[in-house]
Chain A
Amino acid sequence: MNAQKQAHAWLLLLPALTLLVAFTHYPAIATLIDSFMSTPKPNRASVFVGFDNYAAMVDDPIFWQALRNNLWFALATIPLSVGLALAMALWVNGKLAGRGFLRMAYFTPTVLPMIAVANIWLFFYTPSYGLLEQIGNLFGLPSQNWLGDKATALGAITAVAIWKEAGFFMIFYLAALQGINPSLREAAAIEGASRWFFFRRVLWPLLMPTTIFVLVNAVINAFRMVDHVVVMTRGGPDNATTLLLYHLYEVGFKFWDQGYAAAVTVVLLAALATVALVQFFVLDRKAHY
């Protein structure tokens, strides 16, 4: 009976397991192995090269720049998009006219495909007649080539990412807020707690599980979003907007350097896994479920 139950359980797990192994675990392990091998060429088969690919990576200034850019990108997008999401959720959770419309408006960026969005933003940022330029003209601001200047390009693509993400995270916060018992608010009101106090001591702790979930997603997205880079800057000017994944794409599919690309992938995977583990095991303890 017990054995039959066991078999039953494994059978139920099998479809998902097959997919995960075939498309997640096996490629990850194959990539790890490939990262220790040289890139196969028609006249030179792939051979074991140890840490050569990693050494090449350490020597590559563009890798370091991509990493640096990506850290700035993450440092800006994660807190800003999560903070904005929370603020928007708190606002549209209240009773106000046109609430449904507002919610939809906030969520719209999430629904739009990133490629389309990036093309629209391209024209926002266009010098001379772009939207930002026209607004700037009203206030007599000087002309600015947002995407064509090394100083502003990374900031410009970061803004697009925040705009795109915030609405998505808002939905999770909104759902969590709807699930909070209204009697808590009433009790707090009777006790004479200020709104800020109520948020800090009641809402925020209750939203913690959502915050962790959102944070994990925000971190992953910060290393995963490159569609708009491809459309808007292709990593330029002079690598100012090259993010890690874009660099990886270039190495793998433009330079055809499989071994090096595998090494960058392993670094990216390791970094993401570490962050996710820290979040789950450290932050999780602080959450009340």
Chain B
Amino acid sequence: MKHSFATCAAAVALALGASAVQAQSTEVPFYFPVAVGGPITKIIDQFATDFNKENPSIKVSPIYAGSYQDTIVKALTANKAGTPPVASVLLSTDTFTLIDEDAIVPIDNFVKTPEDKAWLGGFYKAFLLNGQIGGKTWGVPFQRSTVVLYWNKELFKEAGLDPNKAPQTWAEMTSMAQKLTRKDASGKVTQYGVQIPSSGFPYWLFQGLTTQNDVILANEAGTQTKFDDPKVIEALQYWVDLSKKHGVHPSGIVEWGTTPKDFMEKKVAMIWTTTGNLTNIRTNAKFDFGVAMLPAGKKRGSPTGGGNFFIFKKATPAQQEAAFKFAKWLTQPARAAQWGIDTGYVAVSPAAWDTPALKKYAAEFAPAAVARDQLQYAVAELSTHDNQRVTKAFNDGLQAALTGSKTAEAAMKDAQKEAERLLRTYK
């Protein structure tokens, strides 16, 4: 297996080397995933073409690599074989994994001039958090998102609620959801008040609830989790109670993928989902809807999500410098603004929001700015060493509690025990 990889890798390297000599330019193979709807591939290809035109000595070749998961599998496998891409967009939460695999270099290595420093300091703090480990910055925020609440104004009106006012607190969300839940003659629910998806990666949405309950799930070093903290259990109990006690939330696991559709079909009046769904819902919803910050528990809060731009260690210094230049170019205010408008991702710097294009867009379509305004309350997405395994233990616990096979307390205690077992070698 390893040998065949090595042979393949050698062949690829040979091919790349040959073309590099021909073109006399620095090759930058760049992996990117596609995680939301829309013509992402076309936009990225256009970025690369424009960049290459402005920088004849560099040749960025974007390579579509599938989902986030596919992309990291490809990048890390190639890295083990000795020929990783020079740069890649990967989940910001995979930073620990990439460091543990010794696959990436800190961005600080390339930040030399005052101009570079200003650029790195120009991002929203919340988006940098996941990429900052051990005093270094490892990832450049690129396609970033956050969780927001979407509500159906029509259904609010029908239920006798103010259609322009989203719930501000947990208690308000419960009481509004009670008014918004409808049953038919046989007592079967035909319309739920609220739903928070729980398939696949429930931890991400749950992190909204824990942050609002004023608790951080893991330490910054990524070696200690707090899954069994009473505040975490309390937050989970609130989620479980929405369906168990109040009956305003569908029972069991709510599928992430069909949640926007449930909302558009008017089967649910309020949903929690990513800002990345904004363009999709705006295009397809046949009713007036609103987008709001998540309601506050003890305070407001939401996790960030999405992908950062990483530079790989095994690339040559010239390639790394070229990739760095590309990263800076990609995140220039005007470009970041356009990227946000085209995709629904949150533009990553305050400067981008100051550009005329984005100002105009936010003025015309107020929901676009909600995600930005929520950033001041945002925290880093849950990320630890051995991240996917620890997160899985946590997800399993959440699903066990939501399906009723464990109590919230037992589920979180089990998840914590497993996380401690997994993380003991990193302390």
Query: A residues near B, CB below 8 A?
Result: 22, 26-27, 30-31, 34, 41-43, 122-123, 126-129, 140, 142-143, 145, 147-150, 233-234, 236-239, 250, 253-256
Q: Are A30 and B1 neighbours in the complex by a CB distance under 8 Å?
A: yes
User: Known contacts A122-B258, A149-B403, A233-B199; is A250 also within 8 Å of B392 by CB?
Assistant: yes
Q: Is B255 located at the chain interface by the 8 A CB criterion?
A: yes
Which residues of A lie under 8 Å from residue B164 when comparing CB positions?
none
A150 to B403 alpha-carbon distance, docked (Å): 7
Q: Please tell me if the beta carbons of B255 and A238 are within 8 angstroms of each other in the complex.
A: no
Q: Which residue of A lies closest to B253 (CB)?
A: A148
Closest 9 CB pairs of A and B: A148-B253, A148-B252, A42-B102, A145-B252, A238-B399, A237-B399, A128-B267, A254-B388, A238-B400
Given contacts A236-B199, A237-B402, contact A149 B388 (CB under 8 A): no
Residue B133 at the chain A interface, CB threshold 8 Å? no
Contact A234 B199 (CB under 8 A): yes
Task: Encode B1-20 as 1/0 by CB contact (under 8 A) with A.
Answer: 11010000000000000000
**Counting CB contacts under 8 A, is B420 at the interface?**
no
B49 contacts partner chain A, Cβ-Cβ < 8 Å: no
Contact of B262 among A43, A122, A128 (CB under 8 A): A128
Inter-chain contact total with CB atoms closer than 8 Å? 96
Residues of chain A contacted by B100 (CB below 8 angstroms) = 41-42
Number of interface residues of B (CB under 8 A): 42
CB atoms of B255 and A256 under 8 A apart = no
Per a CB cutoff under 8 Å, which of A27, A122, A129, A140 touches B255?
A: A122
Whether the pair A236, B405 counts as a contact (CB closer than 8 A) is no
Residue of B nearest to A236 (CB): B399
The yes or no answer to B189 lying at the interface (CB within 8 A) is yes
Please tell me if the beta carbons of B388 and A145 are within 8 angstroms of each other in the complex.
Answer: no
Residues of A within 8 A of B250 (CB): 127-128, 145, 148
Contact at A255–B255, with CB atoms within 8 Å? no
Measured in the bound complex, the distance between the Cα atoms of B258 and A188 in whole Å is 56
Chain B residues within an 8 Å CB radius of A149: 251-253, 403
- Tell yes or no: B278 within 8 A of A by CB: no
Is B221's beta carbon under 8 Å from chain A?
Answer: no
User: Counting CB contacts under 8 A, is B188 at the interface?
Assistant: yes
Which B residues lie within 8 Å of A41 (CB)?
100-101
| CB of B97 closer than 8 Å to a CB of A | yes
Query: Chain A residues near B316 (CB, 8 Å)?
Result: none
Cβ-defined contact, A234 with B396, below 8 A: no
- Give 14 A-B contacts (CB < 8 Å), ordered by A residue: A43-B102, A122-B258, A126-B262, A128-B192, A145-B251, A147-B255, A148-B254, A149-B403, A237-B199, A237-B253, A238-B396, A238-B399, A238-B400, A253-B73
Per-position 1/0 for B196-218, Cβ under 8 A of A: 00111000000000000000000
A247 to B: closest C-beta gap in Å: 11
- Chain A residue numbers with a CB within 8 Å of B188 are 142-143
Asked if A236 contacts B253 (CB within 8 A), the reply is yes
Report the nearest A residue to B184, measured CB to CB.
A137
Judge whether B399 and A140 touch: CB under 8 Å. Answer: no
> What are the residues of chain A within 8 A of B4 when measuring CB–CB?
22, 26
Let me know if B395 is at the binding interface, CB within 8 A: yes
Residues of B within 8 A of A255 (CB): 386, 388-389
- Judge whether A122 and B73 touch: CB under 8 Å: no
Q: Is the CB of A238 within 8 A of B200?
A: no
